[in-house]
Amino acid sequence: MTTARTSFARRSFRGVAVAAIAGAGIALSPLPASAAVGGATGPALAAAPVAASSSAASSSAAQKAVDTALAQRGDMYLYGATGPDRFDCSGLTSFAYKAAGVSIPRTSKAQSTFGTPVSKGDLKPGDLVFFYSPVSHVGMYIGNGLMVHSSSAGKPVAVTNLDSMPSYAGARRVA
């Protein structure tokens, strides 16, 4: 019973916070690298406040996609889900870019061949980052070595260090 109350309270607070941010017209920006102290991931990092990044998105559409993806933090993973309250990895990225007016393929494998290849050293917020061979996971780079993604069953959309993910396979710029 405590778990249900905690989950409901967290969900209610998230809804109020998102509504307050949207109502105030505040744009969400990528997290600073200092938010990932000690390589932290999970709820602490996922709930960290959002601050300005040291690098700019490649376009206004890419920034809108980043803002949209970050606004989904806390939503739970569900295989095949494309939102608005549950996502799989490619469902999150396609949902975020759709909100920015950009149509991208639905699956991580198809997304990995869409757009322009980008080297890891040239990543900008909004770039899609891919993992494993063959590609089976995608996240969105948000700046300062961090990405937002929907990783697996039982886990919420969260921000994590790009280098904490195994088997980096490349990146693409789609907007």
pLDDT number for residue 22: 42
The tens digit of pLDDT for each residue in 111-137 reads: 999 999 999 999 999 999 999 999 999
Q: Which of 137, 157, 158, 165 is catalytic?
A: 137
Angstrom distance (rounded) from CA 162 to CA 69: 15
pTM above threshold 0.75: no
The domain ranges of the chain are 26-173
Query: Is 149 in the active site?
Result: yes
Q: Which of 149, 151, 159, 162 is catalytic?
A: 149
Fill in the DSSP letter of residue 70. Answer: H
Is it the case that residue 34 has pLDDT exceeding 80? no
Instruction: Tell me the residue type at 18.
Output: V
> 79-96: b or e for each residue (b if 16 or more CB lie within 10 Å)?
eebbbeebbbbbbbbbbb
Higher local confidence (pLDDT), 93 or 44? 93
Domain 26-173 sits in CATH at 3.90.1720.10
Q: Which of 35, 36, 50, 89 is catalytic?
A: 89
